């Protein structure tokens, strides 16, 4: 007997990969845990006849000769089939898009960094020229869109998008996808969201706008990640964290969501003993006070682990400057020689203005070129400190409509950050 299994709290990617597996491993029986995501539960309640499967308690472990593991590589996350772990005559195959090390030892592993495991399965289905039904295409697309946030998470690869196109060609139904990806958001969740909004604080840290909120919850609540996502969207911050305090169980669940490519929630949660993706993650903290949890999160964000890149790392220096009494003519030739579009103007080493090519438009006649630069420079100074983040720099540039920011430390100009420095930084950050 060949079985295809996946992780507890089965999501669409896991379910889709198991079902895709049945097309690739003929005769293999899909096994779906009893604990599944609320959205997946809703989907299966309608599609049970089409996507048939058995639960782990219906499997006779001794009869299993081969097991195909989807979307996971850790035994702890498998429900009810722990005894398979110790079988040394078992053939094991793992398909996974998470690159974290696991403990399921397999003879055959297909582990690649992708937005979703189903993308790896689609590659195989394509290769073997399998024909899939529109229903299957719909489920596979649900998995792909859920794990990639409709192809927007930074973990999304080009192959994910090609796989989505392939599934759409095979008539994946987007209205079904939309209906089931819509979060399970009910009265309980609404109540928690309102509580979160009441106790929300907004902090600026390391150039990011952050909001944290603590809420006490009773028992188990589904879809807290959805609540935190809505919370972040409503407050329009770069990252939001919900600390859900369960006093009766003496534990705190921390869920984070980030919209800033450079603020990796997954790595913050990993530091707290949990995990996740750059955009979303969670951790479970037992017997740690909510105060301590909050402090930990803030120190991780402000600490160097996350945004280790500071303005001083991307700025250009030494800076070309001109004195306030330099003539416009001389300034023009400096700009030309150095290939800059603007330079800071200093008076006795103190920054007094900025002169850019744009300011030369104010020149009306030839004789104006003899005037000192201070007559034409912009005195509206927007500067940045070397310890700030590139994110903060881009915000300042947008807000003040300037293309360069002198980097000032103790009143002295020590460098300059231009729009292109910031651009290069953000493009370098994109995962490959």
Least distance to Mn ion from the beta carbon of 148, Å? 9
* Lateral strand order in the sheet of 404-409: 322-323, 342-347, 350-356, 412-418, 404-409
Least distance to Mn ion from the beta carbon of 165, Å? 19
Stretch that binds Mn ion, among 9-17, 29-37, 84-92, 350-358 (CB under 5 A): 9-17
Interaction between residue 71 and Mn ion (CB under 5 A)? yes
Least distance to Mn ion from the beta carbon of 104, Å? 15
- Residue placing its CB nearer to Mn ion in the complex, 117 or 211: 117
- Residue placing its CB nearer to Mn ion in the complex, 278 or 415: 278
Least distance to Mn ion from the beta carbon of 275, Å? 12
- Residue placing its CB nearer to Mn ion in the complex, 14 or 416: 14
Q: Which of 4, 7, 13, 79 binds Mn ion (CB under 5 A)?
A: 13
Q: Taking CB positions, which residue lies at the least distance from Mn ion?
A: 13
- Residue placing its CB nearer to Mn ion in the complex, 147 or 359: 147
- Residue placing its CB nearer to Mn ion in the complex, 154 or 246: 154
- Residue placing its CB nearer to Mn ion in the complex, 264 or 421: 264
Least distance to Mn ion from the beta carbon of 264, Å? 18
Stretch that binds Mn ion, among 10-18, 78-86, 163-171, 297-305 (CB under 5 A): 10-18
- Residue placing its CB nearer to Mn ion in the complex, 13 or 294: 13
Stretch that binds Mn ion, among 115-123, 248-256, 280-288, 355-363 (CB under 5 A): 115-123
Least distance to Mn ion from the beta carbon of 280, Å? 12
Asked if residues 51 and 75 have their Cβ atoms less than 8 Å apart, the reply is: no
* Tokens 């995990």 found at: 275
- Residue placing its CB nearer to Mn ion in the complex, 140 or 244: 140
Stretch that binds Mn ion, among 70-78, 120-128, 285-293, 305-313 (CB under 5 A): 70-78
Interaction between residue 96 and Mn ion (CB under 5 A)? no
Least distance to Mn ion from the beta carbon of 235, Å? 28
Least distance to Mn ion from the beta carbon of 38, Å? 17
Pairing of strands 66-70, 91-96: parallel
Stretch that binds Mn ion, among 69-77, 86-94, 130-138, 339-347 (CB under 5 A): 69-77
- Residue placing its CB nearer to Mn ion in the complex, 147 or 264: 147
Least distance to Mn ion from the beta carbon of 161, Å? 16
Least distance to Mn ion from the beta carbon of 111, Å? 12
For residue 243, give the nearest of 201, 209, 208, 206 by alpha carbon.
Answer: 201
Residue ranges in 144-173 that form contacts with Mn ion under rule CB under 5 A: 147
Distances (CA, A) of 367 to 322, 335, 372: 20, 19, 11
- Residue placing its CB nearer to Mn ion in the complex, 149 or 403: 149
Q: How far is CA 193 from the centre of its chain?
A: 21
- Residue placing its CB nearer to Mn ion in the complex, 13 or 79: 13
Interaction between residue 392 and Mn ion (CB under 5 A)? no
Least distance to Mn ion from the beta carbon of 155, Å? 10
3-state secondary structure the chain: CEEEEECCCECHHHHHHHHHHHHHCCCCEEECCCCECHHHHHHHHHHCCCCCCECHHHCCHHHCCEEEEECCCCHHHCCCCHHHHHCCCCEEEEEECCCCCCCCCCCEEEECCCCCHHHHHHHHHHHCCCCCCHHHHHHHHHHHHHHHCCCCCCCCCHHHHHHHHHHHHCCCCHHHHHHHHCCCCCHHHHHHHHHHHHCCEEEEECCEEEEEEEEECCCCCCCHHHHHHHHHHHHCCCEEEEEEEECCCCEEEEEEEECCCCCCHHHHHHHCCCEECCCEEEEEEECCCHHHHHHHHHHHHHCCCCCCCCHHHHCECCCCCEECCCEHHHHHHHHHHHCCCEEEEEECCEEEEEEEHHHHHHCCCHHHHHCEHHHCCECCCCCECCCCCHHHHHHHHHHHCCCEEEEEECCEEEEEEEHHHHHHHHHHHCCC
Return d(Cα 372, Cα 379) in angstroms, integer: 14
Show the binding pattern over residues 117-146: x = contacts Mn ion (CB under 5 A), - = does not. Answer: x-----------------------------
Q: What is the size of the binding site for Mn ion (CB under 5 A)?
A: 4
Interface positions with Mn ion (CB under 5 A): 13, 71, 117, 147
């Amino acid at each position: 007997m060949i079985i295809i299994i996946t992780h507890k709290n089965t999501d669409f990617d896991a379910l889709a990969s198991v079902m895709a597996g049945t097309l690739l491993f003929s005769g293999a029986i899909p096994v779906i845990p009893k604990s599944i995501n609320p959205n997946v539960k809703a989907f299966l309640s309608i599609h049970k006849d089409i996507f048939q499967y058995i639960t782990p308690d219906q499997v006779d472990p001794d009869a299993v000769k081969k097991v195909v593991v989807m979307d996971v590589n850790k035994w702890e996350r498998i429900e009810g089939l722990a005894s398979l772990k110790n079988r040394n005559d078992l053939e094991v195959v793992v398909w996974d898009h998470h690159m974290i090390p696991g403990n399921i030892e397999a003879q055959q592993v297909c582990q690649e960094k992708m937005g979703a495991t189903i993308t790896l399965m689609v590659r195989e289905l394509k290769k073997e020229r399998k024909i899939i039904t529109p229903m299957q295409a719909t489920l596979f697309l649900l998995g792909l869109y859920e794990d990639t946030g409709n192809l927007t998470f930074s973990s999304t690869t080009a192959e994910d998008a090609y796989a989505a196109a392939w599934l759409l060609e095979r008539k994946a139904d987007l209205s079904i996808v939309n209906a089931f990806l819509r979060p399970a958001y009910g009265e309980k969740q609404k109540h928690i969201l309102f509580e979160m909004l009441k106790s929300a604080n907004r902090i600026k840290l390391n150039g990011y706008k952050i909001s944290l909120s603590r809420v006490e919850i009773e028992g188990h609540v589904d879809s807290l990640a959805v609540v935190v996502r809505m919370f972040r969207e409503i407050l329009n911050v770069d990252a939001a964290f919900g600390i859900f305090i369960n006093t009766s169980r003496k534990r705190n669940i921390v869920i984070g969501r980030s919209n800033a490519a450079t603020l990796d929630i997954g790595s913050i949660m990993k530091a707290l003993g949990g995990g996740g993706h750059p955009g979303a993650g969670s951790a479970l903290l037992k017997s740690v006070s909510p105060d301590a949890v909050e402090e930990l999160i803030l120190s991780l964000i402000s600490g160097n682990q996350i945004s280790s890149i500071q303005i001083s790392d991307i700025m250009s220096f030494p800076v070309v400057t001109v004195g306030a009494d330099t003539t416009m003519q001389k300034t023009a030739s400096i700009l030309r020689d150095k290939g800059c579009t603007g330079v800071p103007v200093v008076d006795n080493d103190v920054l007094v203005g900025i002169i850019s090519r744009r300011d030369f438009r104010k020149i009306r006649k030839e004789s104006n070129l003899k005037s000192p630069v201070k007559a034409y420079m912009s005195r509206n100074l927007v500067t940045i400190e070397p310890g700030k983040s590139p994110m903060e720099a881009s915000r300042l540039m947008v807000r003040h409509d300037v293309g360069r920011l002198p980097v000032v430390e103790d009143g002295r100009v020590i460098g300059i950050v231009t729009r292109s420095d910031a651009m290069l930084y953000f493009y370098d950050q994109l995962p490959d």
